[in-house]
Amino acid sequence: MGIKSLLDGYSRFKKNEYQHQRELYLQLEKEGQKPRVLFIACCDSRCDPSIITDARPGELFMVRNVANLVPKYSPDGKQHGTSAAIEFAVRHLEVEHIIVMGHAQCGGVKLLLETVETESQDDFLTSWMETATEARDHILSIGNRDEKVDTQLALEYEIVRLSLRNLMTFDWIRERVVDNTLQLHGWYFGVAKGELHRMDPVTSEFKLIEYE
């Protein structure tokens, strides 16, 4: 897909989608956004949350980064793009739900597994993926005991759990979760079958979401 095909797509958007949703777009600019959901997903081109959930403009406040990672709360004066977006969504927009969605064949996860054995040459990716080192080490220690474990898949699930745990290190998230004004959700997208899985909040296991 080149730029021409994107511009063709824009032309279709302007003639179809925008025309059908014109009032909504006008209203969203006039009254501002009031999304109820913060969606944290991977940058990966195969798992677009708006497509998967058929969401409308204004419904999802989105953070996409490599491997859908949430770092621990650390206000150290450095540039934290993900934490800044989370703060905007929670403290300014007052979203009611945060969904962290992992996905199949995640390149960031693959890289994290490769760097166990090889030295990485990347300028930024390595330190970013170090956010998930504890998840990787945990999964590798289980993998040693059970040969059948699909390490990549297990780590993709584990990173969702880690991101949810790290969200709870933000005081203003933990307080809202305790007050029940904010709910956290773990999802996983199986690309080939287009299937969504949801993490059980009690067992932390992922189960296929039934659809009508």
Told to check if 106 binds Zn ion by CB under 5 A, we report yes
Told to check if 63 binds Zn ion by CB under 5 A, we report no
Told to check if 135 binds Zn ion by CB under 5 A, we report no
Task: State in angstroms the smallest separation of the CB of 87 from Zn ion.
Answer: 23
Q: Which stretch binds Zn ion (CB under 5 A): 103-111, 135-143, 178-186, 204-212?
A: 103-111
d(CA 120, CA 76): 26
The dihedrals phi and psi of 137, each to the nearest 5 degrees, come to: -60, -35
Retrieve residue 70's tokens.
Answer: 């949430």
Pairing of strands 97-103, 183-190: parallel
Q: Which stretch binds Zn ion (CB under 5 A): 38-46, 52-60, 161-169, 181-189?
A: 38-46
Task: State in angstroms the smallest separation of the CB of 67 from Zn ion.
Answer: 5
Among 40, 41, 42, 99, binds Zn ion (CB under 5 A): 42
Q: Which stretch binds Zn ion (CB under 5 A): 8-16, 24-32, 41-49, 111-119?
A: 41-49
**To the nearest 10°, the Cα dihedral for 161, 163, 165, 169?**
180
Told to check if 129 binds Zn ion by CB under 5 A, we report no
CB 37 within 8 A of CB 60: yes
CA 37 from chain centre, in angstroms, equals 12
Told to check if 44 binds Zn ion by CB under 5 A, we report yes
Task: State in angstroms the smallest separation of the CB of 130 from Zn ion.
Answer: 16
d(CA 22, CA 1): 27
